[in-house]
């Protein structure tokens, strides 16, 4: 069995900021914090990362309000159309569309002209035309507000006019005919939320668990760390699959489940910190003042583990987002029609030959976000640990 006093084999890309000089309360703490902040601000890569993160967040959360399309809105005329900055439809395309629509209404199209945002056409038939036939035309995504302007030849010819609805799909559409731009935005919301919330869950569990274990020490510590040890030996993929299969697929559960499997490293780090903090004067002073164990943990231990914990969070967030994408790949991600970057990317890989944009756009955002998180994490670590660099 693993020796618990050995440094945790945490999958932490970077030296663990194992024993930072713990800042004491009050003035000194604040100035240290200010120093760290100043170092962080001077780190260009980290700042660029932060900036990109803010942009992506803004894009994901504010974006859907600016684009007129809903994320689950289906454009039946635009299934899997490639990205384009030009408005759709193009004029040539319109002729086809109106003919198809007319065929469904069992009429034929005479002259058809488009000028600007409106069109006129004549509909012919051998029988009297039901004026409702215009609804077949409105029914398409391309035309709207079609009205009959004149009825000729005993109703066997209708003159109609209406407007051409133009839509923009800068990211193209997916294979159900939904606007990929909005899908990527909504997917971003979910992925970011899962990343942050799951990390928070793991943070809360891990910090509390680690602090209690480290502070109480002795037999309790042994038992608690043995439990962590057991969980380490469980293949976590299996855990997540089981939990998702067992509890269903709601958004809340997915981040709870992921968070519940990612707190182990955090618990170990915080425990290590706590062990060294416990021997410090200010903790001993607090004990002497007669504070209860829980008060000491809450007021003195946990706040002083903040540094490594913050750094660790920047590592957990991308990990969680990757895990979410893995779940999506297995078909266990968030419930459709909601989506996440992971789910979009996973769909994108199956269509990458026929429709590469379905892979490229979500991947770009996903990778950019994780990239930024990594840089920000590096920056934070450097800033909080003055020995480095």
What is the CB neighbour count within 10 angstroms for residue 107? 24
Residue showing tokens 């976000």: 369
Residue 86-125 contact track with other proteins, rule CB under 8 A, x = bound: ------------------xx--------------------
Choose which of 318, 344, 379, 380 interacts with other proteins (CB under 8 A): 318
Binding segment for other proteins (CB under 8 A), chosen from 91-99, 159-167, 192-200, 327-335, is: 327-335
Residues 118-147 that bind other proteins (CB under 8 A): 132, 135-136, 139
The minimum distance between CB 66 and other proteins, in angstroms, equals 23
The CA distances from residue 255 to 2, 92, 245, 258, in Å, are 29, 48, 14, 5
Residue 121, beta-bridge partner list: 112, 160
CB nearer to other proteins: give 129 or 370: 370
DSSP helix/strand/coil, 182: helix
Residues 160-219 that bind other proteins (CB under 8 A): 175-178
- Cβ-contact 202, 236 below 8 angstroms: no
Choose which of 366, 376, 383, 384 interacts with other proteins (CB under 8 A): 366
Query: Residues 240, 244, 249, 251: is their CA dihedral positive or negative?
Result: negative
Choose which of 117, 284, 367, 386 interacts with other proteins (CB under 8 A): 367
What number of chain residues touch other proteins (CB under 8 A)? Answer: 80
Binding segment for other proteins (CB under 8 A), chosen from 23-31, 109-117, 290-298, 345-353, is: 345-353
The verdict on 370 binding other proteins (CB under 8 A) reads: yes
The minimum distance between CB 256 and other proteins, in angstroms, equals 16
Residues 346-365 that bind other proteins (CB under 8 A): 346-355, 359, 363
CB nearer to other proteins: give 19 or 25: 19
The CA distances from residue 26 to 168, 304, 383, in Å, are 55, 12, 20
Residues 212-241 that bind other proteins (CB under 8 A): 226, 229-230, 232-238, 241
What CA–CA distance (Å, rounded) separates 123 from 330? 51
Q: Which tokens in the block code for residue 7?
A: 């440094």
The minimum distance between CB 328 and other proteins, in angstroms, equals 9
Choose which of 15, 145, 217, 386 interacts with other proteins (CB under 8 A): 15
CB nearer to other proteins: give 53 or 370: 370
The minimum distance between CB 220 and other proteins, in angstroms, equals 17
Count of alpha carbons within 13 angstroms of residue 74, beta-carbon side: 6
Residue 43-72 contact track with other proteins, rule CB under 8 A, x = bound: -----------------------------x
Count of alpha carbons within 13 angstroms of residue 382, beta-carbon side: 17
Choose which of 41, 79, 150, 220 interacts with other proteins (CB under 8 A): 79
DSSP string computed for 277-323: HHTSHHHHHHHHTT--HHHHIIIIIHHHTHHHHHHHHHHHHHHHHHH
Helices (DSSP H) in the chain: which residue ranges? 27-42, 44-66, 91-104, 133-139, 180-216, 218-233, 236-247, 251-261, 263-278, 281-288, 293-296, 302-304, 306-329, 341-350, 357-384
Choose which of 332, 380, 383, 384 interacts with other proteins (CB under 8 A): 332
The minimum distance between CB 5 and other proteins, in angstroms, equals 5
The verdict on 148 binding other proteins (CB under 8 A) reads: no
The minimum distance between CB 288 and other proteins, in angstroms, equals 27
DSSP string computed for 17-31: -TT-----STHHHHH
Choose which of 5, 116, 218, 289 interacts with other proteins (CB under 8 A): 5
The verdict on 2 binding other proteins (CB under 8 A) reads: yes
CB nearer to other proteins: give 300 or 381: 381
CB nearer to other proteins: give 210 or 300: 210
Sheet with 143-152: strands ordered across: 108-115, 118-124, 157-164, 143-152
User: Mutual orientation of helices 180-216 and 218-233 as an angle, nearest 10°?
Assistant: 150
What is the CB neighbour count within 10 angstroms for residue 273? 27
The minimum distance between CB 298 and other proteins, in angstroms, equals 28
- Cβ-contact 148, 134 below 8 angstroms: yes
């Amino acid at each position: 069995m693993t020796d618990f006093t050995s440094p945790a084999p945490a999958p932490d890309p970077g030296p663990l900021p194992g024993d930072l000089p713990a800042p004491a309360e009050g003035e000194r703490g604040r100035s240290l914090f200010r120093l760290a902040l100043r170092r962080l601000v001077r780190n260009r890569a980290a700042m660029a990362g932060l900036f990109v993160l803010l942009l992506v967040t803004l894009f994901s959360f504010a974006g859907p309000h600016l684009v007129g399309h809903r994320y689950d809105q289906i454009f039946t005329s635009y299934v899997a159309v490639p990205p384009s900055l030009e408005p759709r439809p193009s004029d040539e395309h319109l002729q086809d569309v109106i003919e198809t629509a007319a065929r469904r209404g069992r009429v034929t199209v005479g002259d058809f002209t488009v000028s600007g945002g409106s069109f006129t056409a004549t509909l012919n038939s051998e029988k009297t035309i039901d004026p409702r036939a215009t609804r077949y035309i409105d029914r398409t995504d391309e035309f709207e507000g079609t009205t009959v302007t004149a009825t000729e030849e005993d109703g066997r010819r209708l003159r109609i006019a209406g407007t051409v609805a133009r839509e923009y799909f800068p990211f193209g559409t997916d294979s159900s005919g939904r606007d990929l731009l909005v899908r990527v935005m909504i997917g971003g919301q979910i992925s970011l939320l899962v990343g942050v919330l799951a990390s928070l869950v793991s943070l809360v569990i891990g910090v509390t668990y680690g602090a209690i274990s480290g502070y109480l020490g002795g037999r309790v510590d042994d038992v608690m760390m043995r439990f962590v040890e057991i969980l380490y030996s469980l293949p976590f993929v299996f855990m997540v699959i089981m939990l998702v299969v067992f509890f269903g697929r709601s958004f809340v559960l997915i981040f709870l489940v992921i968070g519940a499997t990612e707190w182990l490293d955090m618990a170990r780090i915080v425990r290590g910190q706590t062990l060294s903090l416990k021997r410090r004067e200010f903790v001993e002073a607090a004990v002497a003042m007669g504070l209860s164990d829980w008060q000491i943990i809450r007021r003195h231990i946990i706040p002083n583990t903040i540094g490594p914990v913050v750094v660790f969070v920047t590592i957990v967030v991308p990990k969680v987002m990757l895990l979410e994408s893995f779940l999506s790949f297995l078909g266990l991600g968030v419930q459709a029609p909601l989506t996440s970057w992971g789910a979009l990317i996973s769909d994108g890989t199956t269509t990458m030959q026929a429709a590469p944009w379905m892979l490229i756009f979500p991947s770009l955002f996903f990778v950019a976000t994780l990239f930024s998180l990594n840089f920000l994490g590096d920056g934070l670590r450097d800033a909080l640990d003055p020995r480095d660099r």
